[in-house]
Amino acid sequence: MRHAELLDLSIAHIDCDAFYASVEKRDNPSLMDKPVIVGHPGGRGVVTTACYVARKFGPRSAMPMFKALELCPHAVVIPPNMAKYKQVSAHIRALFEKATPLVEPLSLDEAYLDLSSGIRLVERPAAVLLARLARAIRREVGITVSVGLSYNKFLAKMASDLDKPEGFSVIGREEAAAFLAPRPVTALFGIGQATAARMARQGITTIAQLQSLPEAEFMARWGRFGRRLAGMVHGIDTRAINPDRPAKSVSTETTFARDISDAKALAEALAPLAEGVARRLERARLAGRTVVLKLKTGDFKLLTRHHRLSDPTGRAEIILRAGLALLDRQADGRAFRLIGIGITDLCPAEDADPPDLFGPRPA
């Protein structure tokens, strides 16, 4: 690999290639050349991971399983084994930590690494360490990874997606703006389909169009997010790599065997989910202030609704009460295939549930 800035860049994103499917193929070599889909079989399941052989036929992560099997009826479907995947992930994390103490995992199969001089544990250029890490993971763990190397998190993650599987891509400072210019706005961190659609109505579909706007225009159009967006379109991202990222939310959900439109049945499904959130909060010694209701319609449209509490809570009955109020406004006869509830704006448990929540307020 050659790049003018190769030895000067130090922020990396490493992403395991089709992680769950790769682990299954590693453990069963007879599957190596077959299309493998990891996910719960049955009419209500979704694809967790599709291997690269399967992807040639169209299956993708989060696709309904029935749709994936219509596209690739000869696929081998394997239920996920999360305990095994966590064990493999821990092995990979241990290899990362031999190179640097600053590892920020995003999930079981991807992480950011800061390999800056003075931080990395081996005094080799970051590019060399990353090549060695990729080789060690292939040799010791038995799966492949794709590596992105740049000067910030946003571009490192973008680089790791450029040449999968088993890729190693670099985005330097000099070419960053030009590299971003022709790409769709959805390539930017934080811009989903809804924001992209609003931008399209304003005539903006590419990053180049955003690059031509003055910074004040970003603030006027997109508020606080606009300030960060104004830098991002030019390849600026000041987020640090944080190895101890706190949880931002606690949630749980369930997918129904059949779509449900009855309001009472939906409410009954919500109660055990609220209990589950409360138990997880208790174990983590956390509480939260904003209750989030999640619903997915039969045609896979996702709805989220929020309610901010007057005080943080970790109590199931309070979470459920807020969730039911949100549900009451959505249960209008539409059929839903999924319901979930969660809580955000987390804080320590000792800061939650003041006594006056449980009894009469003093006069």
- Tokens in use for 258? 């059949």
Is 110 an active-site residue? yes
Residue type, 180: L
State residue 139 phi and psi, 5-degree precision.
-75, -45
Dihedral sign of CA atoms 219, 222, 224, 225 in order: negative
Q: Which whole-number Å values give the CA distances from 294 to 231, 270, 334, 343, 344, in the listed order?
A: 32, 10, 14, 11, 13
The catalytic residue among 24, 70, 104, 110 is 110
Amino acid 335 reads: A
List the Cα angle 263/269/275 in 5-degree steps. Answer: 135
Task: Answer yes or no: is 15 a known binding residue.
Answer: yes
If we measure between CA atoms, which residue out of 287, 256, 33, 2 comes closest to residue 127?
Answer: 2
Token output for 62: 């989060």
- 278 vs 165: CA distance, rounded Å: 40
Cβ proximity of 326 and 291 under 8 Å: yes
Task: Say whether 328 counts as a known binding-site residue.
Answer: no
Q: What are phi and psi of 56, to 5 degrees?
A: -60, -25
Q: In sequence order, which residues have a C-beta less than 8 Å from that of residue 285 and are 6 or more positions away? A: 348, 349, 350
**Which are the contacts of 190, defined by CB distance < 8 A and separation ≥ 6?**
225, 228, 229, 232
* Integer angstrom CA distances of residue 28 from 19, 39, 257, 278: 14, 17, 31, 39
Binding positions are 15, 109
Binding positions for Mg(2+) are 15, 109
Which residues belong to the active site?
A: 110
